Amino acid sequence: MKATASSKVKPKTKASKTTQHSPKKATNTKSKTQSPKRHFPAPWSLTGEGFLFPLFGRKSYNSEMAFLDEEDRKSYKGGLGSLMLVNYERSDVGPYYELLYIPGNFEHKDTNYKRITRIFVSSQTSVDEGIRNWAIPKERADFVWKKEGSITKVEVSRDGKTFFKIKIRTLGFNFPVSTSILPYVLLQKAEDGSKLSTAFIGTGKGKFARIESVWSDETIFPDFIKGGGMKTGIGASPFHLTFPVAENVE
């Protein structure tokens, strides 16, 4: 892992020069048929490093500041949620960074689910396919991810404006981590009104991690501490994550 990295979106290739046609030959004025956009359906397999910090959702804060719509507010129950920061070094759509917020549980037909209400990634392809495959409301942003020994610093910006900063220290010894200990079943809402459920599966090598400082522009991303966040969590490096095909929940 390099000590410094910026957004992992591949630079756009330069536009090819216009082909010169001989004046003696007729020029076809019809536009060329564009090839269909490539999609990356689930399941996805991802590896990299990341951090998870738990929160016990404060309903008074998250109902107003966690980017919930009216339906979300009615079904929001608080409880266990999390802040996650991830450096996907390999994925089905290439490497990218991710920042997400889960304010806790949402009830649907007497069952509690987690829901990502705010998420930014450094890859537009990840944005498009995350929405398409799992109805995860991804948005694109730029990341600076710096790792110096036990310290990791992350800054996230959009349109040149930083809206999230965090400094994290990892502590102690390595131990195995698995989502089987803390199962997360997501229920995300698609634009057509359908609800997609996904239970991702992850394993890796972890250490305890502690937030030394964190700040966010609340107009763009919730304040993790105000939302009920805990400064002690887990850092995983490396980890392997599988995102399966989503199930449509009636």
Cα–Cα distance list, 163 to 96, 102, 106, 137, 220 (Å): 18, 18, 26, 18, 7
H or E, element range at 212: strand 201-216
How far apart CA 44 and CA 107 sit, in angstroms, is 27
Count of C-beta atoms within a 10 Å radius of residue 150: 13
Domains of the chain, with CATH numbers? 44-249 (2.40.400.10)
Identify each DSSP E strand in 91-200 by its residue range. Answer: 96-102, 105-108, 111-114, 118-121, 138-140, 142-148, 151-158, 161-178, 185-189, 195-199
And the tokens for 49? 């490093």
And the tokens for 192? 């057509």
Do residues 165 and 223 lie in contact, with contact meaning Cβ atoms separated by under 8 Å?
Answer: no
Count of helices and strands (H, E) across the chain: 3, 16
How far apart CA 171 and CA 162 sit, in angstroms, is 27
Spatial CA neighbour of 163 closest among 97, 219, 229, 243? 219
List of the chain residues with pLDDT < 70: 1-35
Do residues 94 and 8 lie in contact, with contact meaning Cβ atoms separated by under 8 Å?
Answer: yes
Report pLDDT for 136.
98
pLDDT in tens, 37-69: 899 999 999 999 999 999 999 999 999 999 999
How far apart CA 187 and CA 134 sit, in angstroms, is 9
The model carries a pTM of 0.85
